[in-house]
Amino acid sequence: MAAVGAAYFMWPWAAPAAGAMMKAPGAAGYVISRAAFLANPQLYFHLLRTAGAKAASAVA
């Protein structure tokens, strides 16, 4: 599942290349790809609950 998440969301430092970005819900200070989040918000929230905010915004 982590491999899917890594390919699915962008790292915060990749923001210029990722297109539209948004604040990660429930993860203060983190930024994720808006398109990736909207395509599968359940994956993000699953990782947020199980692995924590840092992992969800970086890997998810």
Domain layout of the chain by residue ranges: 2-59
pLDDT computed for residue 1 by the predictor: 53
Contact 59, 51 (CB under 8 A): yes
pTM above 0.75? Answer: no
Residue 41, pLDDT > 90, answer: yes
The conformation of residue 20, written as its DSSP 8-state character, comes to: S
- A 10 A CB-CB count for 1 gives 12
Question: What dihedral do alpha carbons 2, 55, 26, 10 form, nearest 10°?
Answer: -70
Residue 23, pLDDT > 70, answer: yes
Contact 51, 2 (CB under 8 A): no
Query: pLDDT confidence of 46, banded at 50, 70, 90?
Result: very high
Counts for the chain of helices (H) and strands (E), in that order:
5, 2
